[in-house]
């Protein structure tokens, strides 16, 4: 086979594998196999650059180009949507359409989330991704093709062989919320300006002159229709969505076809609550007439189709007065400033507090007590103060962190090179709230109870400890804002269900100093139950995986404390598990007897996935290097002390590729 044929074959294999992985969520080859084929293609292209085609997966990494974006006309204009905000307006819309269509026509609708990102027009020529434009003014957009190519969920080559000669695919590029938060945290840490919301983050990332920067941003796309199309024999929007999906385009799984406007209205109402459960932002619901024949008869007015509407909810930003900046002391002692706001409605929810990151961030944005500020809610994220609301400043003095912990009075510290101030006092009383947060959001991971609820429960003195959480009733919850009969009952059910979490999760949730997930699991496995653990001497503790003398002493000290012993007894009475279940015990396997430490970020696994994969083969995973360590798996940005310790102790360092081999996936 000629190298050009082989390159074409590799492109096809890799592009198909990419759709299967990123869009279908059903991988057809493992990462190692993908890498081998990818490397082969890259080598062919390096040897003969004329083999590189725009749809080659090697083009997804981006290039530091710096041309200005070209303005290019859309083949068909990109319109916009008329909005409605009430049920009555929805009904009126249907009445108007009936007048135009003839009253007896049944109208079916497709209802889709309205993704709050950046609108994009992708042109495919004979099935190949040829060009991608921003919406621009709707008539012409900017050519951001190299940037779009870096988005893994955009197929470079359509699946199937029936591609029309020219097809415009329309969709919305967005940044998932977790990626948005992580990216913003990283920016804040570096002292850089953060993005006010995921939409700006997506739009800004798409307009990077250097597409390697775009490639590093966690962008994705939902495709919601077509623009110019030729030779496509489809009669409804719903069929088009299925058609696109079958050809490898990510269409939103929540799109639904409904037969009546009454059903549409009901679904829209559901969505107002449901939207915060998505891991991306939506700013409404799009409702489209399904039949193309009806769409054509209805036509458009000023580039706004009469056959579609955007149902929009109240805006997610608002202006209000920042009354006071208060400090909360976190679980690890960090001083987190937060804003006490004049209550204001944002996106249908009244908010009276918002997070402020740290002293530097507050002063960079120039936020002061007494200011009018812009606040914003992003999904279920805690509201944020974006910045002062312009000229109406009332605050006079710049913000300063207190020199002493507001709760225990101990002098605060700010380690060199870090942005956070810390209270060094381990016994500081405010850490109780964070223990509760850590329980609800981490250890027990209770659905339907978020940080907001924990905070309100704490503030109202309804729940000040983990046992009190389990004694909470539906009636009590109803007293809190934002709870109705159903949500309160669901939350109580979720709280009660969380009594069944395994022992190691309970241990983690107790907030014993220095006991993270891995240590909790090792302690649970080693001692089997809480009595053995509670009565263990320091020497006995050291026998457990990853426990050195200092940690052993800290754990023993924690269990000597009367309050802590009472807490354990109370939780046990409430029915929580204090024994390691059979199903959690380690299995025998090819790696039995080996013990690994993982440090830094791995590409293909989260830490707990890597841990689980190793444990499945009988290995143990510890979080500190000792003479018993078989190897240290080193990811990106590893912990320096672990690497140094491994080097000193002569413990081998392993790469992620070595890990894959260990797991038999190499
Ligand atoms: S259909 C004629 N469907 O909302 C326009 N638009 O004003 C037809 N959007 O910027 C657009 N999600 O990018 C449609 N599921 C969806 C959408 C959606 C988000 C955006 C679109 C445009 C704006 C419409």
- Average pLDDT score over residue span 629-655: 86
Give the model confidence (pLDDT) of 510-553 as tens digits: 988 778 878 898 899 999 999 999 999 989 999 988 788 888 99
Question: Quick one: tokens of 52?
Answer: 């590189």
**H-only helix segments in 422-465:** 431-437, 451-459
Give the total residue count for the chain: 666
Of 15, 32, 61, the position where a domain reaches its end is 61
Please check the confidence at residue 381 and state whether its pLDDT lies above 60. no
- Give dist(CA 217, CA 298) in Å, integer: 40
* Dihedral angle of Cα 43, 49, 53, 57, to the nearest 10 degrees: 30
Q: Are residues 394 and 411 in the same domain?
A: yes
Closest C-alpha to 109, from 122, 135, 91? 91
- Average pLDDT score over residue span 92-99: 95
Is 508 inside any structural domain? yes
β-strand pairing of 620-622 with 595-599? parallel
Residue 397, pLDDT score: 84
Q: Are residues 557 and 604 in the same domain?
A: no
Q: Are residues 616 and 538 in the same domain?
A: no
Give the model confidence (pLDDT) of 185-222 as tens digits: 787 777 677 787 888 899 999 998 899 989 999 999 99
Considering the chain, what percentage of its residues have pLDDT values greater than 90? 52
Is 74 inside any structural domain? no
Q: Is the beta carbon of 173 within 6 A of some atom in ligand 1?
A: no
What residues are labeled active site? Answer: 114
Give the model confidence (pLDDT) of 234-275 as tens digits: 999 999 999 999 999 999 999 999 999 999 999 998 887 787
Please check the confidence at residue 414 and state whether its pLDDT lies above 80. yes
Residue 380, pLDDT score: 43
Residues 296-304: contacts with CB under 8 Å, at least 24 apart: 297/100, 297/101, 298/97, 298/100, 298/101, 300/79, 303/77, 303/79, 303/80, 303/138, 304/79, 304/80, 304/81, 304/82
- Give dist(CA 314, CA 239) in Å, integer: 32
Residue 666, pLDDT score: 63
Q: Per the structure, how many domains does the chain have? A: 5
Q: Print the domain residue range for 387.
A: 315-423
Q: Is the beta carbon of 286 within 6 A of some atom in ligand 1?
A: yes
* Dihedral angle of Cα 186, 191, 195, 197, to the nearest 10 degrees: 70
Q: Are residues 507 and 404 in the same domain?
A: no
Angle between helices 261-274 and 87-101 (to 10 degrees): 150
Residue 82, pLDDT score: 92
Residue of 109, 119, 227 best suited for mutating to test ligand 1, as the one with most atoms within 8 Å of CB: 119
Give the model confidence (pLDDT) of 430-489 as tens digits: 778 888 988 998 899 898 888 888 988 887 888 988 999 999 999 999 988 888 899 999
Q: Are residues 140 and 268 in the same domain?
A: yes
Q: Is the beta carbon of 80 within 6 A of some atom in ligand 1?
A: yes
> Which atom belonging to ligand 1 lies closest to the Cα atom of 135?
10
Please check the confidence at residue 379 and state whether its pLDDT lies above 60. no
Burial class of residue 509, CB neighbours in 10 A (0-12, 13-18, 19+)? buried
What CATH number does residue 281 fall under? 3.30.470.30
Please check the confidence at residue 501 and state whether its pLDDT lies above 60. yes
Query: 15 has which bridge partners?
Result: none
Residue 644, pLDDT score: 85
Q: Is 62 helix (H, G, I), strand (E, B) or coil?
A: coil
Query: 172 has which bridge partners?
Result: 119, 222
Q: Are residues 162 and 199 in the same domain?
A: yes
Of 423, 452, 479, the position where a domain reaches its end is 423
Record the pTM. 0.55
Give the model confidence (pLDDT) of 566-622 as tens digits: 999 999 999 999 999 887 777 888 888 899 999 888 888 877 788 888 988 889 888
Q: Is the beta carbon of 283 within 6 A of some atom in ligand 1?
A: no
């Amino acid at each position: 086979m000629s190298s050009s044929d082989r390159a074409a074959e590799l492109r096809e294999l890799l592009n198909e594998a990419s759709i299967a992985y990123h869009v279908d969520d059903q991988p057809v080859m493992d990462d190692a196999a993908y890498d081998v084929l990818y490397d082969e293609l890259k080598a062919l292209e390096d040897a003969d650059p004329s083999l590189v085609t725009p749809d080659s997966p090697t083009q997804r990494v981006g290039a530091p180009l710096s041309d200005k974006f070209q303005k290019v006309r859309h083949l068909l204009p990109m319109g916009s949507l008329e909005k409605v905000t009430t049920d009555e307006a929805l009904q009126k819309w249907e009445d108007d359409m009936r007048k135009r269509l003839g009253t007896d026509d049944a109208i079916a609708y497709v209802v889709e989330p309205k993704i709050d990102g950046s609108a994009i027009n992708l042109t495919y020529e004979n099935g190949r991704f040829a060009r991608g434009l921003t919406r621009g003014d709707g008539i012409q957009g900017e050519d951001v093709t190299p940037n779009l190519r870096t988005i893994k969920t955009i197929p470079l080559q359509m699946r199937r062989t029936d591609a029309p000669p020219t097809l415009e695919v329309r969709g919305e590029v967005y940044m998932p919320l977790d990626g948005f938060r992580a990216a913003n945290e990283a920016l804040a840490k570096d002292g850089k300006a953060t993005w006010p919301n995921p939409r700006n983050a997506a739009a800004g990332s798409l307009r990077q002159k250097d597409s390697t920067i775009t490639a590093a941003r966690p962008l994705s796309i939902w495709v919601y229709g077509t623009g110019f199309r030729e030779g496509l024999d489809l009669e409804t929007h719903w069929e088009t969505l299925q058609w696109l999906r079958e050809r490898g385009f990510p269409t939103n799984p929540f799109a639904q076809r409904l037969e009546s406007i009454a059903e549409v209205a009901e679904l829209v109402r559901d969505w107002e609550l449901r939207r915060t459960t998505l891991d991306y932002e939506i700013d409404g619901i799009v409702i489209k007439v399904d039949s193309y024949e009806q769409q054509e008869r209805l036509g458009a007015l000023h580039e706004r189709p009469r056959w579609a509407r955007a149902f929009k909810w109240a805006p997610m930003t608002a202006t209000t007065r920042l009354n006071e900046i208060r400090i909360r002391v976190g679980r690890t002692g960090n001083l987190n400033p937060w804003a006490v706001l004049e209550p204001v409605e944002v996106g249908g929810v009244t908010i009276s507090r918002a997070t402020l990151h740290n002293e530097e961030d507050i002063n960079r944005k120039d936020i002061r007590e007494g200011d009018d500020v812009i606040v914003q809610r992003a999904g279920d994220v805690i509201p944020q103060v974006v910045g002062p609301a312009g000229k109406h400043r009332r605050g006079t003095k710049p913000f300063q962190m207190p020199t002493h912990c507001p709760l225990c009075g101990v002098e605060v510290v700010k380690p060199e090179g870090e942005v956070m101030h810390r209270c060094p006092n381990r016994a500081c009383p405010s850490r109780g709230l964070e223990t509760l947060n850590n329980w609800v959001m981490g250890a027990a991971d209770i659905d339907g109870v978020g940080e907001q609820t924990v905070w309100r429960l704490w503030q109202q003195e309804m729940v000040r400890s983990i046992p009190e959480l389990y004694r909470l009733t539906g009636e009590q919850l109803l007293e809190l804002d934002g709870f109705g009969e159903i949500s309160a009952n669901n939350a109580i059910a979720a709280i009660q269900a969380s009594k069944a979490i395994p022992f190691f999760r309970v241990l983690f949730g107790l907030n014993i100093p220095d006991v993270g997930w891995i240590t909790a699991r090792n302690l649970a496995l080693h001692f089997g139950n809480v009595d053995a653990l509670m009565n263990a001497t320091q020497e006995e503790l050291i026998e457990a995986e990853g426990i050195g003398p200092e940690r052993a002493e800290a754990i023993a000290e924690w269990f000597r404390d009367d309050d802590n012993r009472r807490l354990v007894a109370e939780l046990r009475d409430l029915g929580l598990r204090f024994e390691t279940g059979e199903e959690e015990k380690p299995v025998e396997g090819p790696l039995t007897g080996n013990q690994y430490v993982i440090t830094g970020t791995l590409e293909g696994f989260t830490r707990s996935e890597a841990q689980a994969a190793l444990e499945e083969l009988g290995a143990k995973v510890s979080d500190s290097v000792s003479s018993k360590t078989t190897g240290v798996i080193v990811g990106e940005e590893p912990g320096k002390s672990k690497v140094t310790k491994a080097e000193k102790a002569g413990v081998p360092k392993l790469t992620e590729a070595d890990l894959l081999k260990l797991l038999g996936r190499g």
